[in-house]
Each structure stands twice: as structure tokens, then as C-alpha cells.
Amino acid sequence: MKKLIALVLAALLALSLCAAGAEGFTLTAPSGAPALAVATLATQNPEAFTFISAETIPAAFAANEADFIIAPINAGAKLFKAGKSTYRLAAVVTWGNLYFASQREGFQLADMNGAKVTLFGENTINASVALYALKQNGIEPAEVEYLAGAANTQALLLSDAEAIVLTAEPALTAAKIKNDKVTGYAVNDLFREATGFDGYTQAGLFVRAETADTQAEAVAAYLKEIEAADPAQRQGGDRRHPELRHPLHRRDRGEGAGGGHRADRPDPVRRRCAR
């Protein structure tokens, strides 16, 4: 009986330590779509979450203070490779939520040929994927300029009736609510047309090495907590990249890029937490 009681007490102690570790974690994320993955948890425990502008993400990695950081996949990887970060990729939280949008009447993807297009996130995965998708579909803008983030391109989209911009959810839906002339086309459709794959990684959840090494069980529990709280995950269905569902699988290509698909009902953010 004493051994049984001791085992029960040890189990309860382990669970309490794990819970305490999870509750004590801090997370830093850029404002916008990537933050949606933790929006519910942030509402419940706001003091543990810090939301910053995208351009200050490198400084957050260098500070090495937050237990978790949400950032563009390539940004986190480059900083780690350069020895400027100890953070490791723990999960992918944003899949393919980029859109080209404009107020232009009858706006089509082909309208970008020979036109000025404004992107956000220069030298990030967002701009790289968008430009690659355009090029592979034979769309060649005459000029490309960059703004800091999706909020900036959303503002341009609403203020300039001739502008063609790259934006993201939820900024696109917010723009359409304010102006029903806005039409959006998913970059994911262009990417699928070019590669046969549905979705591309954008933002990841990175965990500090010290946190991962000293609180492995609590980190695993925290990742499950984030996964359960993500609204996209609660809608059900297997939203993982086809390569993660079926190795070497390539989906049949859909409609051509010329017409595209309107984003009146954009797909939810696709993501997959690491198991």
C-alpha cells in the first residue's frame, strides 16, 4: 500500500510540474495570421504572450528570453544556421495563407503582367513563394516593391483603387468587409498549378534550446495545448501537406492560373503541429 501511495504521489507531482512548466512558458509572435494559432491561449493568459512587429523578430531570437517564438520558417532557420539563435523548429503554424488582391474592376491574375505589384516581407518565405508562383505561371510584373507587412499592403489595397498587392488572411477578409470591390486570388492556387502540391510552409513555432532540453515533457504538453486551441485544427480534417500525408504523392493540377479562384471564402490556415 505504501508503494502504491508513493507511486500515486510521484505521478501527481510529475503532472503538477508539467502543468506548471506549460503555464509558465512565454511566447513571442508577430501580429497577424501566425498569431491566430495562439489567439485563444493569449486571451486566457495574456501576460505570457508578446506580440511584436515582423521586423523585430530577429531581435527576439537574439534576446533568447521567450520560451517560444513564432516566425517565418526561413528566418528562424537562417538565424540558427548563422549561430545567432538557439531556437529549434517545433511546429508549423501557418500553411499557404497568401493572396494577391486588388480593387480593380474585373481584376484577374493576368492583370499583373507588366504591372506594378506590391509585396510584403522582402527576403522572407512570403515574398519568395509569391514571386516563384508568379514566374512558374508565366506572370511577369514590370515592377515589384515591398512594404513591411500584410497590414501595410492591406492599407495600400484600401487606399489605392489601382494597386495590386500581396496580402494574407485575416487582412484580406478585413479589407473585403470594408470594401466589397476587393478581389483576391490565392497564391496557393498558383503554387499548386506550378508544383502539384497543396500548401507551403510559412510560419513556424520555435522553441528555445534550454527550454526544450530542461522541460521536454512540458514542451510536448504545450504543443498539444496549442494544437487543441487552434481554430483551424478544430474544424477537423487532415490539413497536412500532401507530402506529410502520402510520401511522394502529388495532387492532380487544378484550373489554370489565368482565371484563378476568388477568395470570397478563403480556406482556413493550414498547419500541423509536430508530434
Cβ–Cβ < 8 Å for 34, 94: yes
Q: What is the pLDDT of residue 73?
A: 87
Q: What is the pLDDT of residue 13?
A: 38
Q: How far is the C-alpha of 146 from the C-alpha of 161, rounded, in Å?
A: 18
| Model confidence at 190: pLDDT above 60 | yes
**Is the fold of 2-95+200-243 the same as that of 98-198?**
yes
Longest dimension (CA), the chain: 80
Cα dihedral angle (29, 35, 37, 40), rounded to 10 degrees?
Answer: 100
Question: Of residues 130 and 95, which shows the higher confidence score?
Answer: 130
Confidence grade of residue 200 (pLDDT, cut at 50, 70, 90): confident
Question: Of residues 139 and 73, which shows the higher confidence score?
Answer: 139
CATH class, 2-95+200-243 region:
alpha beta
Q: What is the pLDDT of residue 273?
A: 33
Question: Of residues 252 and 134, which shows the higher confidence score?
Answer: 134
Q: What is the pLDDT of residue 38?
A: 86
Q: How far is the C-alpha of 262 from the C-alpha of 245, rounded, in Å?
A: 27
The topology under which CATH files domain 98-198 is: D-Maltodextrin-Binding Protein; domain 2 (3.40.190)
| Model confidence at 93: pLDDT above 60 | yes
Task: Map residue 118 onto helix, strand or coil.
Answer: strand
Name the most confidently modeled range: 28-32, 54-58, 121-125, 214-218.
214-218
Provide the 10 A C-beta neighbour count for residue 122. Answer: 13
Provide the 10 A C-beta neighbour count for residue 46. Answer: 10
Nearest to 27 by CA among 59, 53, 51, 56: 51
Listed in sequence order, the DSSP H helices in the chain are: 2-24, 39-44, 57-63, 73-81, 125-136, 150-159, 171-178, 187-195, 209-214, 216-229, 231-234, 242-245
Work out the burial of residue 209: count CB atoms within 10 Å of its CB; fewer than 13 is exposed, 13-18 middle, 19 or more buried: middle
Q: What's the grid cell of residue 16?
A: 503538477
| Model confidence at 7: pLDDT above 50 | no
Nearest to 163 by CA among 112, 121, 124: 112
Q: What is the pLDDT of residue 231?
A: 54
* Average pLDDT over every residue of 36-48: 85
Confidence grade of residue 241 (pLDDT, cut at 50, 70, 90): very low
Q: What is the pLDDT of residue 23?
A: 56
In whole angstroms, how far apart are CA 208 and each of 67, 120, 157, 225, 273? Answer: 5, 27, 37, 18, 16
| Model confidence at 74: pLDDT above 90 | no
Confidence grade of residue 104 (pLDDT, cut at 50, 70, 90): very high
Mean pLDDT of the chain: 78
Q: Is the peptide bond before 72 cis (omega within 30 degrees of 0)?
A: no
Query: What are the residue ranges spanned by the domains of the chain?
Result: 2-95+200-243, 98-198
Q: What is the pLDDT of residue 141?
A: 97
pTM of the model: 0.64
Q: What is the pLDDT of residue 102?
A: 98
Residues present in the chain in total: 275
H or E element in which residue 165 lies: strand 164-168
> What is the separation of C-alpha 272 from the centre of its chain, rounded to a whole number of angstroms?
11
Lowest mean per-residue pLDDT among 63-67, 70-74, 209-213, 254-258: 254-258
Q: What's the CA angle centered on 97, arms 273 and 104, to 5 degrees?
A: 175
* Average pLDDT over every residue of 227-232: 68
Q: What is the pLDDT of residue 230?
A: 63
Q: CA 183, 168, 136, 194 torsion: positive or negative?
A: negative
Q: What is the pLDDT of residue 35?
A: 75
